[in-house]
């Protein structure tokens, strides 16, 4: 099993080439066994030349000579007049400990380089042996020696070529392969997942867990999810069953959520409910709070202020409900709203800004942003003048006074930039928030209608049963 990664080189091509080709990392002191060395020494004793047996290096140039790779890559850039931007790309391919020999590792690395970049780019391939697992390094010239076009490195190139071809070559050589790799997503979402915050995926997992606990059959499980607004596709003709939460535009494969959420694992978890001990449903403790103040001001709120205030109140309510494990009301909100709890503090800051400056319309918001930008530019101009005066200050007292003035201006500029950030996010998000609230109302209406229909059907069945008993 090999892991791969690629990133651009912007500062110094020679530095990266030197790192990749470091003989302290590529040297293999065990290229020959002690017995082989002994035999070779005996054979070559008369020639008095055993330098070839001392070490073996794993350095190969693809479309270039490894000893002069830097000169060749630089010459290609100069020939096409493209010496700026990304100088090269640095990639690696790492294997599990003791999975491959250095020879096999280097062979696979050269094959990978030829398959991906061999037709158009110069590549230096090296194999490092200085860690507990052998790994390949690739230094790829960013400019093609064929037509001078620059290498386009993006996620598609990584997932469709580098990782895919690496897995394919590993499989051809009889090595293990990760068959269903998952993209990690952005860093802040990954960290949020680790902290257990309500990301969309965590919310879907939680809802699936709740549906499993409330189901005795797979049919009941599907019905529960659909009652909560999920679209579930377990069509046997599909290779991978999928799920889509309310508000999501694309289906998500169950297996992507983890090992406990594959169709097979879900069925096994449902079957365990037959042996589960009955636990009475949770009855939340009712707490009463007294609001101190007046709602007069709130009644007069309209537009953006009312929208964001309502949204923050909804998120606050969801947050308090989610703190109680298995709270029955938690599922009465769309996953999108529950996921928005992660950014509740940001929405609260936006609401404070709108209330502070009494901004109710997009026109007022745009005027506020324009005014603040003018104030910021004016203050930045004043600060620049203060900077110039500090340089030419004649006395320490005068310099200290100017520094204090500069710090005050910087604090004002910082506050304005903060307000501009929240105002800009309001401008971008207010329609999205309006749609989320609308989706929640529609979701609640559908839920209530479903419950009403269910209750009505139950009453009709009871009446029918009563009528049948009376006729007997």
Could you tell me the pLDDT band of residue 449, with boundaries at 50, 70 and 90?
Answer: confident
At residue 137, φ and ψ (nearest 5 deg) are: -115, 140
Q: What is the pLDDT of residue 294?
A: 44
Q: How far apart are CA 449 and CA 459, in angstroms?
A: 15
Least confident of 181-190, 223-232, 394-403, 404-413: 181-190
pLDDT of 91 reads 81
CATH class belonging to 2-172: alpha beta
Provide the 10 A C-beta neighbour count for residue 254: 22
| Residue 15: per-residue pLDDT | 52
User: Which residues lie closer than 8 Å to 446 by C-beta, 6 or more apart?
Assistant: 229
Report the length, in residues, of the chain. 472
Question: What are the structural domain ranges in the chain?
Answer: 2-172, 190-279, 321-459
Convert the pLDDT of each residue in 242-257 to its tens digit.
Answer: 888 876 778 888 888 8
* Confidence grade of residue 188 (pLDDT, cut at 50, 70, 90): low
Q: Which has more pLDDT, 283 or 73? A: 73
Band (29; pLDDT cuts 50, 70, 90): very low
What confidence category does residue 326 fall into, taking pLDDT thresholds of 50, 70 and 90? low
Query: From CA 246, how far away is CA 334, in angstroms rounded?
Result: 6
Mean pLDDT over residues 103-110, rounded?
Answer: 90
Look at 75-79, 235-239, 259-263, 462-466 and tell me which has the smallest mean pLDDT: 235-239
Q: How confident is the model at residue 420 (pLDDT cuts 50, 70, 90)?
A: very high
Confidence of residue 330 (pLDDT cuts 50, 70, 90): low
pLDDT of residue 285: 60
User: What would you report as the CA-atom Rg of the chain, rounded to the nearest whole angstrom?
Assistant: 33
Q: Among all chains, which residue has been given the structure tokens 């391919």? A: 93
Per-residue pLDDT tens over the stretch 217-240: 888 888 888 877 788 887 767 778
Alpha carbons 211 and 400: distance in angstroms, whole number = 66
Question: 């109302």: which residue's tokens?
Answer: 441
Rounded Cα distance between 456 and 176, Å, is 57
Among the ranges given (143-152, 188-197, 283-292, 425-434), the one the predictor scored with the smallest mean pLDDT: 283-292
Tell whether the model's pLDDT for residue 42 goes beyond 50. Answer: no
| pTM score, whole prediction | 0.46
Question: How does pLDDT run across 363-376, given as a tens digit for each residue?
Answer: 999 999 999 999 99
- pLDDT for 193 equals 61
């Amino acid at each position: 099993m090999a892991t791969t990664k690629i990133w651009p080189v912007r500062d110094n091509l020679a530095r990266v080439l030197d790192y990749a080709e470091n003989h302290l990392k590529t040297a293999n002191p065990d290229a020959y066994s002690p017995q082989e060395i002994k035999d070779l020494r005996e054979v070559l004793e008369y020639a008095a030349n055993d330098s070839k047996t001392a070490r073996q290096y794993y350095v190969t140039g693809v479309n270039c000579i490894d000893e002069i790779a830097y000169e060749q890559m630089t010459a290609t850039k100069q020939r096409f007049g493209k010496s700026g931007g990304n100088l090269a790309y640095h990639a690696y391919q790492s294997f599990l400990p003791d999975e491959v020999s250095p020879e096999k590792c280097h062979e696979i690395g050269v094959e990978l380089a030829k398959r991906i970049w061999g037709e158009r780019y110069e590549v230096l391939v090296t194999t490092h042996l200085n860690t507990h697992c052998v790994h390949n390094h690739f230094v790829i010239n960013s400019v093609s020696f064929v037509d001078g076009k620059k290498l386009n490195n993006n996620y598609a190139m990584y997932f469709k070529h580098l990782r895919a071809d690496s897995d394919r070559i590993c499989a051809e050589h009889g090595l293990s392969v990760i068959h269903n790799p998952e993209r990690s997503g952005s860093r802040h979402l990954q960290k949020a997942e680790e902290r257990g915050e309500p990301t969309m995926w965590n919310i879907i997992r939680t809802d699936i867990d709740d549906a499993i606990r409330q189901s005795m059959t797979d049919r009941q499980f599907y019905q529960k999810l659909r009652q909560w607004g999920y679209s579930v596709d377990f069509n046997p003709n599909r290779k991978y069953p999928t799920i889509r939460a309310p508000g999501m535009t694309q289906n998500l494969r169950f297996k992507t959520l983890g090992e406990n959420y594959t169709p097979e694992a879900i069925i096994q978890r449902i079957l365990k409910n037959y042996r589960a001990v009955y636990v009475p449903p949770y009855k939340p403790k009712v707490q009463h709070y007294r609001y101190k103040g007046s709602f007069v001001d709130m009644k007069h709120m309209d537009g953006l202020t009312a929208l964001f205030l309502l949204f923050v109140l909804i998120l606050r309510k969801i947050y308090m409900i989610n703190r109680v494990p298995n709270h029955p009301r938690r599922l009465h909100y769309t996953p999108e709203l529950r996921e928005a709890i992660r950014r509740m503090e940001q929405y609260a800051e936006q609401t404070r800004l709108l209330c502070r400056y009494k901004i109710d319309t997009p026109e007022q918001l745009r005027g506020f942003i324009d005014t603040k930008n003018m104030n910021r530019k004016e203050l930045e101009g004043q600060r620049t003048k203060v900077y110039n005066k500090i340089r030419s200050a004649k006395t320490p007292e005068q310099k200290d006074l100017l520094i204090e003035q500069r710090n005050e201006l910087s604090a004002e500029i910082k506050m304005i930039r903060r307000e501009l950030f929240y105002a800009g996010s309001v401008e971008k998000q207010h329609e999205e928030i309006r749609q989320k609230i609308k989706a929640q109302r529609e979701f609640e209406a559908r839920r209530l209608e479903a419950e009403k229909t269910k209750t009505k059907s139950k009453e009709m069945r009871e009446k029918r049963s009563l009528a049948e008993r009376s006729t007997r």
